[in-house]
Amino acid sequence: MTRQHDPHDRGSIDEFKDGLERFHVAITSAADIFQRFSRALDVALQDHSHIDTKDCRACGKPDLDHWFTSKRDGTTLCEACFTVRCGTGLAKEDPQ
Ligand SMILES: [Zn+2]
């Protein structure tokens, strides 16, 4: 008759507790890393959405800090193109 490994003997329980403690430490560090990563991701996504916001539809100038939206057709224009449109009467500011 061969001796079977008994998972409930004292040595296995200590081993299990030790493993559990190591696992807890690993999980805690992983959670910490995840939190840092999550915060970095939030910032990156905010920056990304800001970068993606506006390109001039007329001349294609990207990443506009200031832009104008045509009230007639909703196109996004840089200041230069908006001024040109105003000058030629294709876009008009609402006087109100
Ligand atoms: Zn433009």
Which is it for the CA torsion 58, 62, 68, 70, positive or negative?
positive
Collect residues with CB below 5 Å from ion ligand 1.
56, 58-59, 61, 78, 81
92 CA to centre of ligand 1 in angstroms: 16
- Ligand 1 mean position, distance from CA 66 (Å): 11
End-to-end Cα spacing for the chain:
97
Where does residue 78 rank: exposed (0-12), middle (13-18), buried (19+ CB within 10 A)?
buried
- Digit-coded pLDDT (tens) for 32-74: 988 988 888 777 766 554 455 688 999 999 888 888 888 878 8
What pLDDT was estimated at residue 96?
47
Half-sphere exposure in the Cβ direction for 52 (13 Å, CA): 6
- Six-digit token string for 50: 């800001």
Q: What is the pLDDT of residue 89?
A: 57
For the segment 7-12, the average pLDDT, to the nearest whole number, is 71
Distance 57 CA to ligand 1 centre (A): 7
